[in-house]
Amino acid sequence: MSKIAIVGFGGAGYCAAREIRQHDRISSIDVYSDTNVGPYNPMLTTYYVKGAIPYEALFPFGNLDEIEKELDLNFHADCPVTGLIPEKKELCFADGSKRSFDQILFSTGASAIMPPIPGIDLPGVIKMRTVQDAVHLKKILAEGTVKTALVIGASWVGIKVIEDLVENGVTSTLVDGAKWMFYVAAFEETALRVQKDLEAKGVKVSCGQMLSQIQQEADGRLTAVMQNGCRFTADLVAVCIGMRMNVGFLKDSGLKIGRGIQVDCHMCSNYEGIYAAGDCAEAVDIQAGMHRNIAIWYNARTQGQVAGANMAGALMEFDANVLVNLAHYLDYDFISIGDVAVCRPEDRVYEYEDDRYYIRAVRSDTEIKCINMIGSAESNGLFKSTFIKSIKNPNVGVDVKTACCMRNRGFPDEFIDFLGGITID
Ligand SMILES: Cc1cc2nc3c(=O)[nH]c(=O)nc-3n(C[C@H](O)[C@H](O)[C@H](O)COP(=O)(O)OP(=O)(O)OC[C@H]3O[C@@H](n4cnc5c(N)ncnc54)[C@H](O)[C@@H]3O)c2cc1C
């Protein structure tokens, strides 16, 4: 019997605990959380705000009491871990106490970045990450006093907050410091289409706007002042400019940390028996061949499962760490697979548009580098797995079954060929 600790209990922590119990019913599992709520899915927060799901649906694994019983866990609520002595596998707590374990998983996730600028704490300035953030925004919108809103950050979270606002009849403006929307995932050509379609739905978009401070007007409204002097006034300001991995408390511990805790394909850190998974981890990006934090729900669950299996002595690997994201909002969707930043002028470009799809893909002679798609959310998995296969084995094209599937969904033969596949006549 060994003593196992899980620090942070979101999707990654829960999936680790569940996997450990698949192999081992005997070891003790202590779960430390800085909250008193059960594991939830932050991705569903905006669905709750707009009323698409009830509060309970934020917790896809069920009720905390039942989870504790089913997985036989010792859950320590409101008990944040404040440090680690890796050589002794000892966790440190705020009251100065320490506890040692045989194996530890860090699955502490990430927090929304709120820049330290004047006005960031004003009432009416919100963020979106936690269940509390969602409950707060839902309450504000239900009061009916918000008529105009400004969302800062035109990326995966900001776009979902825009959806909540638009669906509540709030006149909304979206600004971003970068040159175009979804700057790290979209080609400029894709981003301009996304922007045009959003504007057609009544949302104003302004890029190249870097937030400097937020001021309160005499009538209570908020003005976001930009570094270039532009001013945007609204009843509500949502700050969605990115997230910081919750690893600050491990900074001087000796764990290898980039943006997150660096791990191998078993989710093990540079210390044997100490693992990390989910948003707080950096696994090896198989496209770039280097550590990269790819903070998505699939990674949180799968990495948690892989860490849990290895902690229980069942060898498992995570080798699907690629940049991929899907934004579905206002009956519209945008998918990006692969790294837009590695595309070069000498690469081959494929572009296609019909009344269903917009596609822009880039490849070198040997590999697909990045695919942007609009209108094809249901095919995300198909293209993600094609991309992963092409990275793992550049010389193998799209298999016949996948090619048929793409063709049945209306994707052009030239696109399938471009991906390295075969055209079936
Ligand atoms: C608005 C929004 C939209 C999203 N949309 C998508 C999407 O469309 N697709 C997608 O794939 N992903 C999406 N994501 C990302 C996805 O939700 C996350 O990648 C995933 O939930 C991360 O899970 P996790 O378990 O790693 O972290 P978390 O769910 O953040 O859990 C970590 C837990 O650790 C706790 N903790 C932190 N520090 C400590 C400490 N020191 N001690 C103890 N406990 C601690 C935290 O309070 C938290 O409960 C979205 C996220 C947001 C916020």
Homologous superfamily (CATH) of 324-418 is FAD/NAD-linked reductase, C-terminal dimerisation domain (3.30.390.30)
Q: How are beta strands 81-85 and 90-93 bridged, if at all?
A: antiparallel
Lining residues, ligand 1, CB within 6 Å:
7-13, 32-35, 41-43, 45-46, 80-81, 107-110, 128-129, 156-157, 160, 246, 249, 278-279, 295-298, 300, 326
Instruction: Write down the residue that tokens 């229980």 correspond to.
Output: 312
* Cα separation values, 265 from 26, 286, 381, Å: 26, 10, 21
Residue 425 above 50 pLDDT? Answer: no
Closest CA to 111 of 242, 199, 208: 242
Domain 3-111+244-311 class, CATH top level: alpha beta
Do the Cβ atoms of 89 and 101 come closer than 8 Å?
yes
296: CA distance to ligand 1 center in Å?
8
- Pairing relationship of beta strands 261-262 and 281-285 according to DSSP bridges: parallel
- DSSP assignment of 118-181, as one string? TTTTSTTEE--SSHHHHHHHHHHHHHT---EEEEE--SHHHHHHHHHHHHTT-EEEEEESSSST
Q: What's the confidence (pLDDT) of residue 257?
A: 98
pLDDT at 163: 98
Q: Which of 17, 33, 38 is nearest to 76 (CA)?
A: 33
Q: Tell me which CATH code domain 125-241 carries.
A: 3.50.50.60
Q: Pick from 65, 67, 35, 40: which is nearest to 54 by CA?
A: 40
Taking the centre of ligand 1 as the mean of its atom positions, its distance from the CA of residue 261, in whole angstroms, is 15
Q: Which atom of ligand 1 is nearest to the CA of 39?
A: 49
Q: How far is the CA of 9 from the centre of ligand 1 (A)?
A: 9
* Residue of 14, 297, 302 to test ligand 1 pocket, by largest number of atoms within 8 Å of CB: 297
Confidence of residue 67 (pLDDT cuts 50, 70, 90): very high
Report CA(14)–ligand 1 centroid distance (Å).
12
Q: Hey, whose CA ends up nearest to atom 31 of ligand 1?
A: 10
**pLDDT(396) > 90:** no
Indicate if 324-418 has the same CATH topology as 3-111+244-311. no
Residues 188, 349: Cα–Cα separation, whole Å? 13
Please compute, for residue 65, the number of CA atoms within 13 A of its CA located in the half-sphere on the CB side.
Answer: 0
Give the nearest ligand 1 atom to 326 CA.
Answer: 8
Q: Which of 25, 30, 28, 27 is nearest to 13 (CA)?
A: 30
Name the residue with the closest Cα to ligand 1, atom 20.
297
Alpha helices (runs of H) in 263-330, residue ranges in sequence order = 297-311
Residue ranges of alpha helices (H) inside 183-255 are 188-200
Q: Is 56 left (phi over 0), alpha (psi -120 to 50) or beta?
A: alpha
- 184: nearest Cα among 305, 334, 340: 340
For residue 366, what pLDDT band results from cuts at 50, 70 and 90?
confident
Locate the ligand 1 atom nearest the alpha carbon of residue 130 and give its number. 53
Nearest CA residue ID for atom 4, ligand 1:
43
- Please count the other Cβ atoms lying within 10 Å of the Cβ belonging to residue 159: 25
Taking the centre of ligand 1 as the mean of its atom positions, its distance from the CA of residue 129, in whole angstroms, is: 7
Q: Which is the closest atom of ligand 1 to the Cα of 7?
A: 43
Of ligand 1's listed atoms, the one at least distance from the Cα of 13 is 25
pLDDT score at 367:
87
Residue 138, pLDDT > 90, answer yes
Residue nearest to atom 2 of ligand 1 (CA): 43
Span from the CA of 329 to the centroid of ligand 1 (angstroms)? 20
> CA 259, CA 324: separation in Å to the nearest integer?
18
- Cα 319 to Cα 412: distance, rounded to the nearest angstrom: 30
Residue 423: predicted pLDDT: 46
If we measure between CA atoms, which residue out of 362, 368, 374, 405 comes closest to residue 389?
A: 368
pLDDT in the model for residue 399: 86
Distance, in Å, from the CA atom of 86 to the CA atom of 106, rounded to the nearest integer, reads 12
Question: Per-domain residue ranges for the chain?
Answer: 3-111+244-311, 125-241, 324-418
- DSSP helix/strand/coil, 220: coil
Q: d(Cα 370, Cα 337) in Å, to the nearest integer?
A: 6
The string of pLDDT tens digits covering residues 259-277 is 999 999 999 999 999 999 9
Residue nearest (by alpha carbon) to ligand 1 atom 51: 43
pLDDT at site 422: 62
pTM: 0.96
Q: How far apart are CA 53 and CA 202, in angstroms?
A: 25
Contact 3, 26 (CB under 8 A): no
Cα 10 to middle of ligand 1, angstroms: 6
Question: For the segment 227-257, what is each residue's pLDDT rounded down to a tens digit?
Answer: 999 999 999 999 999 999 999 999 999 999 9
pLDDT reading at 424 higher than 60: no
